[in-house]
Amino acid sequence: MKLLLSSMLLALVCTSLVQSLRCYTCDDDPKCMTQTDCSAESSFCKTVTTDDTLDRGCAEKCVESYYVSCCETDLCNL
């Protein structure tokens, strides 16, 4: 019985890890190429590009515009 419960708990933890989105971020990286596991609330990868700024990261909400692009798959904000 303990083995069954342990196996179920392990499967649940692994499932949670698989579902988190992975995005490029700018944490201490001026090229914004740091790979980050997003929180469970973040369902978008976001890139903001202006003439003098580049910012990449995870986002709970994302509205595309001239400067902002959004995507929903792992490492899509390159």
| Calpha distance 64→26 (Å, rounded) | 19
User: Alpha helices of 1-78 — where are they, by DSSP H?
Assistant: 2-19
Check residue 38 and report its DSSP letter.
P
| Other CB atoms within 10 Å distance of the CB of residue 75 | 14
Reduced to 3 states (helix: H, G, I; strand: E, B; else coil), residue 23 is strand
Residues near 14 by beta carbon (within 8 Å), at least 6 away in sequence: none
Question: Which domains does the chain show, CATH number per domain?
Answer: 21-71 (2.10.60.10)
| pLDDT tens readout for residues 34-48 | 999 999 999 999 999
| Residues belonging to the chain | 78
| pLDDT tens readout for residues 24-74 | 999 989 999 999 999 999 999 999 999 999 999 999 999 999 999 999 999
